[in-house]
């Protein structure tokens, strides 16, 4: 049985130990790109550019694997979602595993969130709606995505940044 009181006590201890009111500036500039796998480049482009409205910004050969593509989508605020395909490697389908990727959450304005939800409905993409602010769904390769109708730095009305 899970000891919820112990878990909350540990969360409080970590918060008190590490969260700082006078938090220094990050050494990072932002997320350059988040890289995922694609089993079909054109299908991935249609899903991310045409359905989700994330413009394709570039495609070139992957420097680490000849014949493989490395391609990028603009997800706003100077951030990119990138993909690799690895033809001939038969990597198998996406698997959500402990210690692996859980989901990619992308902030969108409420009006865009509503429009994209309608596009997901029209395209027959199954999704889970959470708190009238999050839509969880899978891309064509099975990776889980979240469209979050909260501003960057907030989650369900709670400041996280």
Using one digit for the tens of pLDDT, what is the confidence trace for 27-82?
Answer: 787 788 899 999 999 999 999 999 999 999 999 998 888 999 999 999 999 999 99
Whole-angstrom CA distances from 25 to 20, 77, 106, 151 are 11, 18, 23, 20
118 close to 129: Cβ distance less than 8 angstroms: no
Is 30 in a helix, a strand, or coil?
Answer: coil
Three-state SS at 70: strand
Residue 94: pLDDT band (50, 70, 90) is low
* Mean pLDDT along residues 5-34: 89
pTM: 0.84
Q: How far apart are CA 59 and CA 78, in angstroms?
A: 17
From the CB of residue 98, how many other CB atoms can be counted at a distance below 10 Å?
5
Q: Each residue of 107-141: pLDDT tens digit?
A: 999 999 999 999 999 999 999 999 999 999 999 99
Q: Could you tell me how far CA 50 lies from the centroid of its own chain?
A: 17
Under the banding of pLDDT at 50, 70 and 90, the label for residue 159 is: confident
8 Å CB contact between 147 and 103: no
Instruction: Return the DSSP state at 38.
Output: -
The pLDDT of residue 63 is 86
**pLDDT band, very low/low/confident/very high, at 96 (cuts 50, 70, 90):** low
Sole residue written with tokens 């595993």 = 97
- Considering only 14-23, 95-104, 152-161, which range has the smallest mean pLDDT? 95-104
């Amino acid at each position: 049985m899970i000891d919820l009181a112990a878990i909350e006590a540990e969360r409080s201890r970590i918060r008190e130990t590490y969260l700082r009111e006078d938090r220094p500036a990050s050494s990072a500039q932002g997320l350059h790109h988040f890289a995922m796998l694609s089993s079909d480049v054109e299908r991935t482009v249609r899903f991310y550019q045409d359905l989700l409205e994330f413009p394709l910004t570039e495609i070139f050969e992957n420097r680490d694997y000849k014949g493989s593509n490395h391609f990028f989508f603009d997800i706003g605020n100077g951030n990119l979602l990138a993909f690799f395909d690895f033809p001939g490697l038969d990597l198998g389908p996406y698997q959500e595993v402990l210690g692996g990727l859980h989901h990619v959450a992308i902030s969108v304005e409420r009006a865009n969130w509503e429009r994209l939800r309608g596009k997901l409905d029209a395209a027959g993409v199954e999704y889970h709606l959470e708190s009238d602010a999050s839509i969880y769904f899978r891309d064509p390769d099975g990776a889980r995505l979240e469209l979050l109708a909260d501003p960057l730095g907030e989650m369900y009305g709670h400041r996280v940044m």
